[in-house]
Chain A
């Protein structure tokens, strides 16, 4: 198997250093919802992987409760079981033959566009400028990588078209891109430019029809305007506007049968976008050209090389979106309860998470470390904010002991959905439920009075919620969220340990979790819960499902059983090292193979 050749040593080692302090460019603005960024499926109301059969007509458990109808809200059922989001371990599939699921056409994400354009024109500042108004990709299942949601609407097209013209100019002006003096360019020079630069932009050699189109474009512009410079710039700009640049186009069909490997060039892009979030480099192009990517061994060799490159740290974006760290820019806290809040502190929280995940990737950290590490990364300011025993000097982030904390669970993700004036027990619980357990939670029932009348104003949030759960309409769902969120009450809305809550009352620590396959029980501290989660197959499966969604650009379906099993097997075999999950993603049937495309116009190409 491929895996065996991936050496433990050397992966990303020594790449940390100054990278740790670089802040994310993905700034989000202030708009938030009451929802955690979530997760599940795709493809509309089609078949789902693992959910129970619907039984409409007996209940109205969405909790939306028809205000005029008789149906009880599902939330009323105190024994409500959360539904799982496609995490059930697939078994009894015959995976002896490759069985990839659907591989949808994927538009570049904004980050991928930026990285790719920078590789092509070399001017990161220019690229940042021309892409700054790209609309934010619609979120689906908590991620901005969903192929289905990554469409080119008119506004997006407009932005792309504008950016392409700037990039086209920059490309033509770049040393060596046009192999002659444009003023006197002969057809051979023009063709050479189209072939060489076009191959990089299209991520494959141009076909004869492609070359003809560019030749026609060139001639049309020169004949109408006499401006050869404009014609070259237009050719480059057109490449940057091409579907072949904006999407990761895969059109190869298996030579025989229904499953085959993608072409070498298609595979080069699969590799580079999964591990580097950008276009293939020269070595990948070379490997594609030589046929090295037509074999599993050849792919393995490239993966080994690629994970040792700093560009592989870009997979951090998965963690950032999964943990909602990318929403940090919208955080606000009121001055009364949180005088320590300021934008710099938010950046420190982001930087902590980034440094922590980078370290896991570089130093073979495990899933257990991810959730339950008894250390974190901090600089002086953050260590003081957290009240850590060890306080580094200066602004550089260093690994420091944090024996009471618990990996990412007590980092910025914890506070991302808290309220301006206080922690949110409900939303913290919901985050664990949906994003770490991959469960589905029904909405609050309609027309239910969510206020808690006649309550003593001095009650704590926890006490109020306890009373809340005495109400029929609220009990079922809140039982899923509140007791979990309560476990985290010992941390305030800026992630700092506390013994008194915002109202000055003593914090009652501890809570419980129910409705799970592996975790049900009481937990005194976040760390206790984290240690259990870190050993839970259920939580690991959810993590793998989240990675599947982010990296493959869609939700898992029943057709992905073999790939999911391969991911699970590989992850387990490598002691649940986080970087090995990423490598595993390049070794699955989904990644290595490609199913034949039905070209029947009537086919919707959706579910197998």
Chain B
């Protein structure tokens, strides 16, 4: 399961609207807890696929390295990534699968229809290696402000 505060959830959905008709992308920082991924922060990234940003995304490695360092400094981990599918369903594509390498992490996809965020789905990259990896649908629990404060206590 992916557990995320309402504000962070809206941030990643709004990001997809802002970059429409191009794909947005970003990283989710948080903690792995009881088999779930608990998001503490959403980090917006630049989509470096300037050649076809309407249906591809890529996060620059230096940006990713900086995010990894930021996570370490804050005692967090990269628990997932998100991107948008402009005018396309919130389902992973063969390209998403082929390029997914962060085992145990969440891959969140928001469909953006005519500029408005529609369905958001999350998939966990299950398996123990490149050879047996698979993207499995997972529930998203969106926490209200009160719920997220009680989680912190």
* Pairing of A with B: no
What is A's interface to B at a CB cutoff of 8 Å?
none
What is B's interface to A at a CB cutoff of 8 Å?
none
